[in-house]
Amino acid sequence: MKFKVLLSCFLVGTLIWSCKENSQEVSEMSSEETSFEYVVEQFADIQILRYQIPGFNELSLSQKKLVYYLSQAGLAGRDIIWDQNYRHNLQIRDALENVYANYTGDKEDDNWKAFDTYLKRVWFSNGIHHHYSNDKLVPGFSPEYLTELLNETNTELTGDPFNVIFNDEDTKKVNKKKGVDNVAASAVNFYDPSITDMEVETYYASAYKGPEGKPVETGLNTKLVKKDGKIMEEVYKSGGLYGSAIDEIIKWLELAKGVAENEQQANTLSLLIEYYKTGNLDTWDEYAISWVNSKEGDIDWINGFIEVYNDPKGYKGSYENIIQIKDFEMSKQMAVLSENAQWFEDMSPLMEEHKKKNVVGVSYKTVNVAAEAGDASPSTPIGVNLPNNNWIRQDHGSKSVSLGNIIDSYNNAGGSGRLKEFANDEEEIAFEDKYGKTASKLLTALHEVVGHASGQLNEGVGQPKETLKNYASTMEEGRADLVGLYFLMDPKLQELGLIDNYEELGKTAYDRYIRNGLVTQLVRINLGDDIEEDHMVNRQWVSAWVFEKGLADNVIEKVARDGKTYYNINDYEKLRELFGALLKETQRIKSEGDFKAAQDLVEGYGVKVDQQLHAEVLERNSVFKAAPYSGFVNPDLVAEMNEEGAIINVKVAQPETFAGQMMSYSKNYGFL
């Protein structure tokens, strides 16, 4: 699971989540002076940033090789996420890139500028649907103009791949709305277009589930297709679907295994290779167990078909890759949460039968990202907690990481204007200035380490994707948020030496969560739209529920001043109690598989928007130039060779432009 950001996440202003999100929030914090150029460019609603790799130059040559090989393995699968996101994406991308590379006409023309922006948005989203809203991107040019560009560059794009850019087909990549056929209404390429929601449920009702008590992640690495009227799975593996790209991934993983830091790492990579060769989900579980127990060494990785946010049914994993180097000082400071995970579980407001008696092996580290690919790039999480399989997490533990250099880049690229505009008073601003960064890091840690590791299902209750269905992801992210929020105002954090004033830090975190959940996150959707993205939905249902339940005691006050709306928290202790009560109910819903209660909570509080407030927020936000979404170019890892072709060093180079990196990736890693 991922903890994501759009511009600057939870850490830099109002809160947003991606346990991948992918969750983001609007930047509010001041940027610190630095000579490193964090900002590459801005277009549409997107800002492109750079990140540094602290500690890379201190690695041994063998470790640098390991990072390099793992990064190449990740990039080798880049085309997979494009095809997973939509069946016509690769054909559209190839055509647009050929135009971009070969057009010699007027590039100062407004039509060309609109084309340039559209292509950059497509690159950023890994396809023609917005990376966060899931809406199809709208080009600012006509079909006639695109035809002209195609003709002038001798580029072919016809039929559905051309028409879909402009028509009303496949308008939503992922549609989890109530009352529609979620599979048929989603353009994501996990299911043949003719397959329906009911057919998916029927198929997986009788599919292989794994050993008793140790279920596999059924359907994780397959596409469901219909051939001769019969539904079947095409497996992502060598010799199967995406085989040509997977063979490249395997090639680089074999090289990485040869320079592994220790035997456990090498064995873990062997299992990952075997999984890619066979597509066997039992092997995937063996790999996940080996990976979560691979704790020695300075290098780690995330690679595979992992997060299921893009599947309206919650089965299919999107391809992603993140390569990590330990941040030793921050990891040492934050390890205290892992060591005290059982205390947090014992002291949580959950029903006793829903508490874990033994929270196993929760590890939390701050790492520095060295490379990202697939669904983690260009839009990246800021924290990740894996593996996702519940029984593995319960029996073997999980790894939680905070992506430290990504967080630093978001913080250093921010601005203070939005905070001053949307905060209710000077005290709120002062708390944010003093505790904002610490609050963000702690909430991220609590969300990942304690939140996702907490609670258990009742015996005999199915996995949330089966019981809570299209509400499973937003319910899980809201549940993890609530764990973090409940404990952020607990003196235990001060006792553990993590903060110097738990009350003021807790107030800071509560202010930013409510501010974002009820107000500022609205800048990321169009006027008149419902909220649909899982993390945005969960932030609103959490915030709206506690606001409503606290009305009688005026816990949170809605303030109208000078034609502007603010929310002021009058009683932080009672708000904490409300967070605890909602956490208890949310865990009950998950533990019991109560679909109706999940539906009532999400649809009743998380989806609909106050249109008058939304219009006001958009107007107030219009004065700020910073885009509401951010993502990254990756540092280029450059292998230096001797005359014999052996690597003698790996250097880090920063790409100059977003377009340059995207064109280079398509040229060098186009394996589908």
- For residue 2, which of 330, 355, 302 has the smallest C-alpha distance? 302
How many whole angstroms separate alpha carbon 318 and alpha carbon 306?
6
Is residue 157 domain-resident? Answer: no
For the CA atoms of 290, 291, 295, 296, the dihedral, rounded to the nearest 10 degrees, stands at 80
Residue 360: what pLDDT? 75
The letter for the amino acid at 636 is D
Phi, psi of 301 (to 5 degrees): -150, 160
Residues 399 and 292: beta-carbon distance below 8 Å: yes
User: What per-residue confidence (pLDDT) applies to 110?
Assistant: 97
Both tokens assigned to 491: 């003196």
- Do 297 and 262 touch, CB atoms closer than 8 A? yes
DSSP strand pairing (398-403 vs 39-43): unpaired
User: What's the confidence (pLDDT) of residue 63?
Assistant: 98
pLDDT (0 to 100) of residue 417 = 79
Residues 6+ apart with CB under 8 A from 593: 457, 458, 461, 462, 464, 466, 467, 468
The DSSP 8-state label assigned to residue 556 in this structure reads: E
Per-residue pLDDT, 414: 61
Does residue 21 belong to any structural domain of this protein?
A: yes
Least confident of 168-172, 267-271, 435-439, 461-465: 435-439
643 falls within a domain:
no
**Count of domains forming the chain:** 1
Q: Which of 172, 162, 83, 160 is nearest to 136 (CA)?
A: 172
Q: Distance between CA 504 and CA 494 in Å, rounded?
A: 11
Amino acid at 73: A
Q: What is the pLDDT of residue 438?
A: 84
Contact predicate 290/305, CB 8 Å: no
pLDDT of residue 26: 41
Residue 6 CA to residue 132 CA, distance in Å, equals 8
Q: Which residue has the tokens 């553990």?
A: 496
Is this structure's pTM higher than 0.85? no
Position 361 confidence tier, pLDDT thresholds 50, 70, 90? low
Q: Is residue 33's pLDDT more than 60?
A: no
Is 614 inside a domain boundary?
yes
For residue 167, the one-letter residue type is: N
Question: Can you give the residue range of the structural domain that contains 466?
Answer: 2-60+242-630
Residue 483 near residue 513 (C-beta atoms within 8 A): no
Task: State pLDDT tens for residues 57-82.
Answer: 999 999 999 999 999 999 999 999 99
One-letter amino acid at 213 equals G
**Can you give the three-state secondary structure of 65-108, one letter per residue?**
HHHHHHHHHHHHCHHHHHHHHCCCHHHHHHHHHHHHHHCCCCCC
Reported as a single tens digit per residue, the pLDDT across 564-574 is: 999 999 999 99
pLDDT, tens only, 388-406 = 999 999 899 999 888 989 9
Structure tokens at 252: 């680089």
Sign for the pseudo-dihedral over CA of 544, 546, 549, 552: negative
3-state secondary structure of 149: helix
Query: How far apart (Å, rounded) are the C-alpha atoms in residues 226 and 231?
Result: 4
pLDDT of residue 27: 43
**CB-based contact 317:305 (threshold 8 Å):** yes
Domain for residue 224, yes or no? no
Q: Residue 15 pLDDT more than 50?
A: no
Q: What's the confidence (pLDDT) of residue 408?
A: 85
**Strand boundaries in 18-80, DSSP class E:** 39-43, 46-49
Question: What's the CA gap between 175 and 313, in Å, rounded?
Answer: 10
C-alpha distances in Å from residue 568, one per residue of 99, 439, 509, 554, 573: 52, 18, 13, 10, 14
**So what's the pLDDT on residue 664?**
98
Three-state DSSP at 42 gives strand
The DSSP annotation for 231-259 comes to EEEEEBSTTSBTHHHHHHHHHHHHHHHHT
The SS3 of residue 15 is coil
Residue 38, CB-side half-sphere exposure with 13 Å CA sphere: 21
Instruction: Look up residue 157 and give its two tokens.
Output: 């794009």
Q: Is residue 194 assigned to a domain?
A: no
Q: Which helix (H) or strand (E) holds 388?
A: none
pLDDT at 25: 45
Q: What is the pLDDT of residues 205-246, one digit of tens each?
A: 999 999 999 999 999 999 999 999 999 999 999 999 999 999
Smallest Cα–Cα separation from 350: which of 158, 211, 468, 482? 482
pLDDT-derived band at 29 (thresholds 50, 70, 90) equals very low
Q: Is the pLDDT of residue 21 over 70?
A: no
Residue 208 DSSP SS3:
coil
Given a cut of 90, whether residue 111 has pLDDT beyond it is yes
Percent of the chain scored above 90 by pLDDT? Answer: 81
**Residue 2 pLDDT level (bands cut at 50, 70, 90):** low
The identity of residue 197, as a single letter, is: D
What secondary structure, in 3-state letters, does 258-307 show? HCCCCHHHHHHHHHHHHHHHHCCHHHHHHHHHHHHCCCCCCEEEEEEEEE
Residue 131 included in any domain = no
Q: Quick check: is 545 in a domain? A: yes
* Mean pLDDT within 252-279: 98
Please write the tens of the pLDDT for every residue from 146-195: 999 999 999 999 999 999 999 999 999 999 999 999 999 999 999 999 99
